[in-house]
């Protein structure tokens, strides 16, 4: 998964998978693009490069 805002690259090469029945946590420092990644996974953002399964 990749995401940029103009020249600012905020996500690069993020991979993730959670199997049925698993519980996953998502930790990171402030400004680490956790919400951006989750929004892409939830299909709340339309303009991103890459793919989601």
11/51: higher pLDDT:
11
Q: Which domain holds residue 35?
A: 1-11+28-53
Question: For residue 44, what pLDDT is reported?
Answer: 54
Answer yes or no: is 4 within a domain. Answer: yes
Answer yes or no: is 20 within a domain. Answer: no
- pLDDT above 80: residue 47: no
Nearest Cα neighbor of 36 from 21, 23, 49 is 49
Answer yes or no: is 43 within a domain. Answer: yes
CB 36 within 8 A of CB 28: no
Answer yes or no: is 18 within a domain. Answer: no
Answer yes or no: is 19 within a domain. Answer: no
**Domain total of the chain:** 1
13/7: higher pLDDT:
7
Predicted confidence (pLDDT) per residue in 16-38, tens digit: 777 889 888 888 889 777 888 78
Answer yes or no: is 49 within a domain. Answer: yes
């Amino acid at each position: 998964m990749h995401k940029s805002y103009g020249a600012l690259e905020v996500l690069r090469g993020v991979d993730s998978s959670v199997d049925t029945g698993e519980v996953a946590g998502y930790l990171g420092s402030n400004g680490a693009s956790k919400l951006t990644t989750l929004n892409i996974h939830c299909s709340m953002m339309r303009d991103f490069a890459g793919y989601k399964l």
